[in-house]
Chains A and B, each alone.
Chain A
């Protein structure tokens, strides 16, 4: 292949610079960053009662701040990803770690609802956009060989899942032992650990391979005009809808059905436990199978698992089996979705494109929470939303099948 003529073509995968960091270093630092960033945020619900009681706020104030956080996380994602692709992931991770610490401390100090929205909502949302999967996956994409990329993304996603699983009891212990405000300050200090870890992800100055450089605008136009990118975004939208609808409304559903809070907690623990294995397995399988089949299978299986759960008599055991099965499928979409984006478009703008797909996920999340509540208020039952989740699962299973995984072929620019 030559880059010396305008008619020459170049594959997206060739735009990756030669690996510069060791895979072990990238995996250890990346996994620890994601463990912290995903773990710390996961237990925020534990602060609902102590903060609202101490500050005299309504639950709505707290819930609105968390909703704002999720929205800010999604909207800031493409920008954080673009900055990471342009200026280096480690810089974005350092800013993200500082924002995380500032957000947690100011969350503890906020005495008005507005200040709480700014800290727990905006600051922490932006912090998450700069410290989670899309940013770390950019480093993995540029430094891990293509045949091990999906596996490496699976390892990192499993670390994030483990962080979620681990930090809930840890945060509960911190609040119980030191008080809710001190617990936030302690987590603020802990989040600063992202800074030294970011240095472990500092890549040597990257220069795109000659003849393969692409502008941000061209990358965006290319991705959004490419049907497979749209299909991946549609699938990720469904992922967000299903996971967050179940996450938020499941306890109310179980309570309505007469089950005890213990059943809901055990279900939560089972989801967390099996989520670790599911994300790792999805990444590992992605190194051997076509990722579109893995994604399609995950969404079809979700639809089947929810259908069986709804049709069988509801018992604690059926809830546990459902939680374990959904746990396996919970965040398992993350490694294959990001790995296939890297495979199609290359790694130059992997964090930015991953950020856009994640924005679609967050819009689905928002709709899952909102529609769950809205339709419950209208009908007095979650049945309609459960069946919408099933229908969306089938839809996502179908739309992932025609995804083209081959690297996109671009015309190489003329030689100087």
Chain B
């Protein structure tokens, strides 16, 4: 019965991993570093 929570957490981890990887693309890195933090 622990399969569902395990699957759910795995899915959450996978989604978060994909989004994290998006931040590490070189073309995105400079844009974010110079612009995004301005408006936290």
Chain A residues at the B interface, C-beta cutoff of 8 Å = 43-46, 48-49, 59, 63, 66, 162, 165-166, 168-169, 172, 243-244, 247-248, 250-251, 261-262, 264-266, 268-269, 272-273, 276
Contacts and interface: CB of A to CB of B under 8 A. Distances in A.
Interface of chain A: mostly helix, strand, loop or mixed? helix
B7 interface: no
Contacts of B24: 265-266, 269
Contacts of A63: 38-39
A46 B37 contact: no
B23 A43 contact: no
Contacts of B28: 169, 172, 265
B23 A268 contact: yes
A48 B39 contact: yes
A180 to B, nearest CB: 12
Contact of A66 (B16, B32, B39): B39
B15 to A, nearest CB: 8
Contacts, number: 83
Given A49-B35, A169-B22, A247-B37, A265 B29 contact: yes
B16 to A, nearest CB: 6
Of the four ranges (under 10, 10 to 19, 20 to 34, 35 or more), the interface on chain B belongs to: 20 to 34
Given A169-B23, A269-B23, A264 B35 contact: no
A166 B29 CA distance: 15
A264 B31 CA distance: 11
- Chain B's interface: helix, strand, loop or mixed, by majority? helix
Given A165-B16, A265-B29, A247 B40 contact: yes
B8 interface: no
Nearest to B31: A172
A63 B35 CA distance: 11
A244 B26 CA distance: 26
Interface string B1-40: 0000000000000001001101110101111111111111
Contacts of B33: 251, 261-262, 264-265, 268
Contacts of A264: 32-33, 37
A45 B39 CA distance: 5
A169 B19 contact: yes
B32 A265 contact: yes
A170 B17 CA distance: 15
A250 B37 contact: yes
A321 B14 CA distance: 21
B20 A273 contact: yes
Nearest to A259: B33
A266 B23 contact: yes
Closest 10 CB pairs of A and B: A247-B40, A261-B33, A269-B23, A45-B39, A169-B22, A45-B36, A264-B33, A265-B29, A45-B38, A265-B32
